[in-house]
Each structure stands twice: as C-alpha cells, then as structure tokens.
Amino acid sequence: MTIIQTVSPIDGKVLGDFEISDAQSIADKMAAGRLAADSWSKIPIKARSKSLLPFSQLLMDNLDSICQLIGLCTGKVHTEALLGEIYPLLDLLNYYQKHAGQILRYQGVPTSPFAFPGATAGIERRPYGVVAVISPWNYPFQLSVAPILTALFAGNAVILKVSELCLPVGQLIVDLFAKLDLPSGLVQCVVGDKETGEQLIDAGPDLIFFTGGLHSGRAVMQRAARHPVPVILELGGKDPMLVFADAQLDRACAAALYGAFCNSGQVCVSVERLYVQQPCFDQFLGMLLAGVAQLKVGNDPYGDLGAMTSTAQIEVVQAHYQDAIAKGAQASGPLERQGNFIKPVVLWNVDHDMRVMREESFGPLLPVMTFSDDAEVLRLANDSEFGLNASIWSCDIEQATRVASQLNVGSWAINDVIKNIGHPGLPFGGVKQSGFGRYHGAEGLRNFTYPVSGLTNRSHLPKEPNWFPYSEKGYQNFKGYMDFVYGAGSFIQRFKRNRLALEAFREYSAFDLAQRWQNLKLMLTWKRDF
C-alpha cells in the first residue's frame, strides 16, 4: 500500500495520509461507474434534478466547515473560499434546476417535403457515460463540484481526481454526494499524482474534463488521444485589463487590485497584464501603489491574501519578478516571502520582452503598461498565446464594446472583473492556448452530452426515388429537381424549365399526392396568367 500525504501550505501541518489508487482499483471504479451511469441516464431529467436539489442545502448547512477545510488545504482566506468556491456552485445548481430540462430536450429539425416526403427529423442529447474530472489545486472544491454537477445533470457518472495537494477536499466532495439519494458508484474519486491521472485516462472514461496549466493540459490531451477519448480543456490565462482615460478610476483601481491579488493571484482569470491609457497613467499608478500597500497578507482567515498553495508556483513568481527587475522594471517593493505567504507587488516600466508579460505568473504580481489608443492596446492585449478572459474599463460603453469585440478571448467583461466567469448562464472557456470546450450555461451542459440525430419516415410508398434501379431518365429528372430547388431564376422560371422532371416525382410529394400536386400546378398557372 502506497501512501501520499497532504500538508497545509499555511504551517506545514499534516492534514492526512491517503492511499494511492492503483490501476486495478481504478478499473473497478470505472466498472462501477458504468453500471451507475447506465441506471442514472435512464432517469428523466426532472427526476435527476430532484435528486440533486438537496446538494444546495448540504452546502448551506456546512459553509463554515467547508471553508475551513478549503483554507487548510489551499492557504486561502475564508471569504475567498466562501465567495470563490461555494457561492458559484449554488448559482450553478439553481440555474440547471430551472433550465436543464429545456436545454437537453429533444429538438425537432424541419425537413424538406420534396426531399424527405412523409418524414420527421430531430436531435436528442445523450450522456457520454463516465466522465473523468481532473481538477486543480487553486480552486479544488468549485472546479471539482461544478463539472461534477454538470455531468450529473446531463446523465453521466463521474470519477474525480483532485490535485494531490488537496486530497482532503476530494474526500469531502465524495462524502457530500454520498448523502444524496444517488445510484451507488455515481460519484467516486481516485487518489494520486500524475501517474494516477494517466491510469485514469488509460482506464477509458467516455469524456475527460481537465482544468489546469498548459503543460499538463497538453499531456492529458496526448494521453487521451491514445484511446481516443474526447476532452474538454480549461487551461491557463494571461488576462489583460484595459483602462481607458475616461474610466471611473476609483472603481477600476479597486478592481485591478482584486483581479490581480484575490487568492494571491492564483486564479486562471487573474488580471495578469494591466494596460492604462497614457493621460491617466501616472494618477492610476499612484492609486495602485497606495492600494497595494493597504492589503493584508498572513494567516488571518478573514484577511485579504492567504498563503500560496504550491511551492513550485512560488518559484515561478520569484523567477518572473527577478527577470522583470533585471530588465529594468520598477516595483512597489521587494518580493517578500514568509513561508508560503507572498507580499503582492505592482510592477511598471515593463514590456512584452519580460516573462511577467508573456508567461502565466499565477501569483501576486501586477505588471502595468501604458498605451496611447485603441489600436495600440488591442495589439498589446492580443499579443499573447493565451486567450481566456479580459476586462475593459470605460464610461463609453459603445467604445468598450467595440474594443471587446476585437479581443481574442473566450469571454470579456466591461467595467467588472473576474465575476463574469461565475455567471451560470454564460459558457466559459478559452481560445488559443487557453484550451477549448465550454462549461456553464446551456452550451456547457450540452458539452457533457453528445447529439444523436434521427429521421422517421412515415411513407407508405413501396420505395424512395433515389433507390435502385438507376437510369439515364432518372439522372436527368434528379438534375431537374436540383435545378428547381437550387438553380438560378425566380420560382416560376425554375418550375417552367423543370416541369417534366418534377412530374416524375409527383407520387413522392408530401402534398396529399396527386390532389395537392394539381393544386400546386393550378396556383402556378394562375400566377403566370396574372
């Protein structure tokens, strides 16, 4: 038996020992998940929603204990755990309770009465089966439970692998779902590191939902391609914030500080690049420096910035800071570290040759650049391999909307920051190296299903016009039919030149056969005479 130990980034205290899942145990969980998925998918969506409804009350009944455990595992302060990890889940649950049935309902599709006489068509949504959810350490509760709930509403079973840094959170999630009236094996978890994740993929889930960094996302995609298994990837970002001179600067400054430093900058949509228009740059920079000096860092559950979760990420932040300073950047202060607590820093005199402006820092650094006009800021903002989220700040909403429409991102907000990704009705995901696929909203729920198209023919005729035998006459008639439907000219012109060909298909018409065919000809004759 191999054990993995979880320690708190706050003080190094051991939070628990967990047995690593081996390949056989993962295979057993996959088999149990398939049985659960089979029974769960047959339950109507309204009944599934009813079974999931009590999860909201479970969260409400255990808010303090959940926030406390999340804080111990990640180092984040309690308010960040409450608002960043739990509140979005309550909103998502409420949204899918109201709309999941409509989103996943059968969708009828119109059919041509000539090409498909007597037929109806439509699309149904079916769950994949077993979804592997591989979640990160920065928001281990929310970024695990949100895809789990989405998968369950869609009719799937789930096997969860949380980060090895947050294993107690994974156990908590499974324990919470165990309190619901769900089929055995519907929500399970595996324990381990990268190798365990590979084994989970090799066990053959039907869909993989991965949230994490670009390097890990590539590895997941490569592994999944061996089988192959479809993937949804929500990867990193280098999100720009664009502040125009006419913006409400007090609000924009408060947003920049929150957007850059909430959860110590460990948010996929953190403000990692701040562009400020030249006329207000000096004023805005002064406001930022005054604001960052007031932020409280330390082991206070109700402070502003808690500990960083990963020591490896701290090393990235240090490297980005040192690179910027070496290349001429100025800073609000030194990068002070006490254990895993890092004091936030504002950087200026930066450019795109610095790592802090090109690579994901995922920590409490805020680099600030100036720009002159729309064209320059769009060039700068789009000069990134990432494309996850962005914010635009201006009192001129028309201008801000015009700028937003030209940003290469998966989502944007005007005069707000980060909060837009938590809107349960808006699909969230990135472009470029920030991943693909979406979750949240109608599109997100559909992404946990696949479409099945169906056509029902109610014709009582002995055969269809395209069936054997083929002939030269049939070929010419089909050409005439295609010219009537898609050719140039008016409706009457197309009918006149293809009348004989259309006569050949009169028995297949959806218009009550001969009688309606005659009615059509009479109508066309009347139009000609008129």
What is the 8-class DSSP label of residue 226? T
Helix axes 214-224, 194-202, angle to 10 degrees: 30
CA gap 462, 455 in Å, rounded: 18
What is the Cα 470 distance to its own chain's centre? Answer: 50
Q: Parallel, antiparallel, or unpaired for β 14-19 and 3-7? A: antiparallel
Joined tokens for residue 208: 């993989």
Candidates 80, 164, 234, 359; catalytic one: 234
CA gap 321, 291 in Å, rounded: 20
Residue 80 appears among annotated catalytic residues: no
E-strand spans in 458-522? none
Cα distances (Å, whole numbers) of residue 249 to 105, 261, 485: 46, 18, 59
For residue 271, give the 3-state DSSP assignment.
strand
Q: Parallel, antiparallel, or unpaired for β 207-211 and 231-234? A: parallel
Joined tokens for residue 281: 């740059």
CA gap 442, 445 in Å, rounded: 5
Nearest alpha carbon to residue 128 among 157, 148, 105, 102? 157
CA gap 348, 524 in Å, rounded: 75
Nearest alpha carbon to residue 299 among 246, 259, 339, 333? 339
In this structure, is the dihedral angle defined by the CA atoms of residues 321, 322, 323 and 328, taken in order, positive or negative? positive
Residue 395 appears among annotated catalytic residues: no
CB 187 within 8 A of CB 175: no
Candidates 73, 268, 272, 280; catalytic one: 268
CA gap 530, 521 in Å, rounded: 14
For residue 417, give the 3-state DSSP assignment.
coil
Nearest alpha carbon to residue 18 among 27, 7, 33? 7
Q: What is the DSSP string of 128-191?
A: -SEEEEE--SSSTTHHHHHHHHHHHHHT-EEEEE--GGGHHHHHHHHHHHHTSS--TTSEEEE-
CB 94 within 8 A of CB 56: yes
Joined tokens for residue 22: 């081996």
Q: What are phi and psi of 443, to 5 degrees?
A: -65, -40
CA gap 515, 513 in Å, rounded: 6
For residue 210, give the 3-state DSSP assignment.
strand
Joined tokens for residue 293: 């000096």
CA gap 62, 521 in Å, rounded: 73
CB 296 within 8 A of CB 304: yes
Residues taking part in catalysis: 234, 268
